[in-house]
Structure 1
Amino acid sequence: MNESQPQFNAPYRGRFAPSPTGPLHFGSLLAAFGSWLMARRAHGQWLVRIEDIDPPREIAGAADAQLRTLAAFGLLPDEPVLRQSERGDAYQAALERLLAQGDAFLCHCSRSDHADVGGVHRACVPGASRVDPALRLRVPDGTTVVFEDALQGRIEQDVAREVGDFVLRRADGLWAYQLAVVVDDAAQDISEVVRGADLLDSTPRQILLQQRLGLPTPRYAHLPLVLGDDGRKLSKSSASLPVAEDAPVATLRRAWLALGQNGDALAEAASVADALSSSLRHFDPARIPRDRTLSFTPA
């Protein structure tokens, strides 16, 4: 069993990292606001990264629209925005290191080859051959990662059994999220990762990669995932409407309440600046719900 301990003693550096697959919805804003509050409360820095490594899923202009929405809510990064689409050389260097260590390998399997075991890759299909093989991380039997999440508590995952050898570079040549996020969190000296609980199951894979690459492990806090009134994740829900930039204070109040905070603190805020200033004075991380999901009711 591998129990991970955060390795950062440096000043607080947090981030918000959306994928440009559409406009920011309320769940995205909640993650941005929550991570911003945690960083500002610690007198730390808050960064924004655009995770644009999956062109087939991206919408033209979405990244710039997301940045405009963040600005409309006063959530401005302390450093220039990093775009993953410009970081291929860094991912390639990490991949070559893993290959040299024997931690990564070429995989000629197709997705259907492991469909009967839920896609969990434990061994390549004998004789499989593709002109475009993927590259995977080798995850030996018994590989278990344990870490303490600031909101969700102790998390333990048997990565070998539940995930298997996972993809680092896809068969279509695109970089996998797990590798890119680990490389970029280290490059940006991210000490605290505050994000939605939909990414909680990915964290053990990222910690495993950090260890294989000799990179520091940030501290993690996974905020409740916002569900629509139909019980589905907002990005897949009928409630996945863009946040209203024409009423930012009202929307910030709703996000504030969703984070479990005292509603009276923002009741008199007349502007975004007022709302953010008051939120910093009254923010209490201990009030954030420890649930993995919370329901969303359209305004």
Structure 2
Amino acid sequence: MRLTATLSCLCACLAVAPSVHADPVRLALSLEYANALSYTIDQRFDLQTSLDLEEGRLAESHHAADIRLSARQIESDGGATLTLSLDRVLIETTAGGETMYFGWNRDEPESNDGQSPGDAARAGALLVKSAITVEVDASGAVIKVSGLDQFIDEALSMGDAGPAFIGLFAPERLAAAIEHMLRPDGSAREALREVGSRWTTTETYPMPTIGEAELQTRWTFDALDGHVAKLIGDAVLAIHQQDDLLQTTPRVRVEDSQHRSTVRWDIDTGRLIERESEQSLTTVWTLGDQAVTQSQSVTLGIKRREKPNDAP
């Protein structure tokens, strides 16, 4: 879920910014029919739980993909419909006591999924064959990611291992990763920012039966080195619970959270160069006299790659 993608998002010390530069810098995405956005996404996730001093790892996963985003249609207001193509996929997960693996590379078909177990091979084959469409609004927010239903249905048939295997390729998580490529300042496709300036973005995500989570990210335009803008984002997560929670609904509180993202944006080409994020979150879930502590950590890297030979 989109919340799962962001529930790892979190708070660290705010960096001291340099003095404000006199001239605003235009941070903007360049989206054109002729030029695809080509990136490598690499995400590692670890979830642990403890109950009555007994600790156990619920899930750990590594998802990686080389993707291309090509504009299918660009609206006059800046909204767009994009086609997402996969050039490489790697999935390694351990969940529910079961380890799953799938590997695929468009340029090296002889190396594809030779070590994948049957369930992973079937689900992975549906993933790489998916016709994935991404709908984006004028601000760079991803409205919808479609085309993954068959892959998700097959992966969920694995049982407890399914959600971890889906991981990054859940529509909500994929949408969150794509937004990082489309919004240079964390809030819009285009903005004027001064070096040294600070701003805050706020997002809310529903937590069914519990309330909502609010994520505040405090951004700093840290430096401008030639045509490369460096931005740093520190985030804090708060959970707002409903006043009328049912007795059967657990109470949840954030015990510890840390999250820092570093963004490097090319102001000449209007493209993300690289984004690195490190996130950790510890929550305590209480129902009656029983408490469960969950700790999760996520590292996410998004890096621009050289345009493939067959890319538009």
TM-score interval (norm. to shorter): under 0.3
If the length of structure 1 is used for normalisation, what is the TM-score?
0.24
What TM-score do you get using the length of structure 2 for normalisation?
0.23
The structure whose residues are more often strand, as a share, is 2
In terms of fraction of residues, the more helix-rich structure is 1
